[in-house]
Amino acid sequence: GAVVSQHPSWVICKSGTSVKIECRSLDFQATTMFWYRQFPKQSLMLMATSNEGSKATYEQGVEKDKFLINHASLTLSTLTVTSAHPEDSSFYICSAREPTGSNQPQHFGDGTRLSIL
Amino acid sequence: QKEVEQNSGPLSVPEGAIASLNCTYSDRGSQSFFWYRQYSGKSPELIMFIYSNGDKEDGRFTAQLNKASQYVSLLIRDSQPSDSATYLCAVNNRGNFNKFYFGSGTKLNVKP
């Protein structure tokens, strides 16, 4: 089955640091990947759709300059949280769909727990 | 109105019982419907998906879809304590099937 790998799984860093999270589709090519954020006991919130070879599409209220997304290849998307602050602490999860057909599910990575001190 | 609505629960069932999880959606043109399970502190994992009216069975799980009523459900037979998790319903967007709308999830507790 489709496997999505996300790295790192856990990050603890000081306020002001920029943090990069990688999302890879291991056994399929993904022209589109998705980045979600989830605060404790809350539902998934879609942040942006990452498109290979073009700009990401951000959801309303998500700062483009704060959350930089790069999708340079068909198997890799990265999310960089720039100048992270404690309020950016959250669980970040990526997902990807296999490109064949409109009924394909999204497959999720294991998530990255980000803690900003 | 939210795109996808789920009762937040918790839904408590005894071990061995059938757990019934429900989901309604607002866009009548939605085509595909997905159930994910999310354990506390973990990312969602796909259980099954359905896109035709009726039932679809996979092991102890049965997804039921009624497009006329805009309703999709998940039945878990012979519930086990290990099934205790939050179950997320997702629907893909008619205009952009890449985009999924997720419900807020129903928390299921299976008591031994």
Asked if B49 and A107 come within 8 Å (Cβ–Cβ), the reply is no
Question: What pLDDT is attached to residue B44?
Answer: 97
List the single residue in B36, B98, B103 with the smallest CB-CB distance to A49.
Answer: B98
Interface test with B, best of A21, A36, A43, A52 (most B CBs within 10 A): A43
Question: What pLDDT is attached to residue B93?
Answer: 75
Contact of A90 with A84, CB cutoff 8 Å: no
Question: What pLDDT is attached to residue A49?
Answer: 93
What residues in A contact B102, CB-CB < 8 Å? Answer: 43-44, 46
* CB atoms closer than 10 angstroms to residue A31: 17
Query: What secondary structure letter does DSSP report for A54?
Result: S
Residue A41 has pLDDT above 90, yes or no: no
What region, left, alpha or beta, does residue B31 occupy, with left being phi > 0 and alpha being psi -120 to 50 degrees?
alpha
Closest of B7, B8, B9, B5 to residue B25, by C-alpha = B5
Contact of B100 with B1, CB cutoff 8 Å: no
pLDDT tens readout for residues A91-108: 999 999 887 777 889 999
Residue A57 has pLDDT above 90, yes or no: yes
Band (B54; pLDDT cuts 50, 70, 90): very high
Task: Please give the structure tokens belonging to residue A22.
Answer: 């990688």
Q: What is the 3-class SS of B55-108, one letter each residue?
A: EEEECCEEEEEECCCCEEEEEECCCCHHHCEEEEEEEECCCCCCCEEECCCEEE
pLDDT tens readout for residues B55-112: 999 999 999 999 999 999 999 999 999 999 999 999 987 777 778 999 999 999 999 9
What residues in B contact A97, CB-CB < 8 Å? Answer: 98
Question: A101 vs B5, which has greater pLDDT?
Answer: B5
pLDDT averaged over every residue in chain A: 93
pLDDT tens readout for residues A24-39: 999 899 888 999 999 9
What residues in A contact B31, CB-CB < 8 Å? Answer: 102-103
CA distance B112 to chain A (A): 24
Band (B5; pLDDT cuts 50, 70, 90): very high
Contact residues, B window 71-90, toward A, CB-based 8 Å cutoff: 88, 90
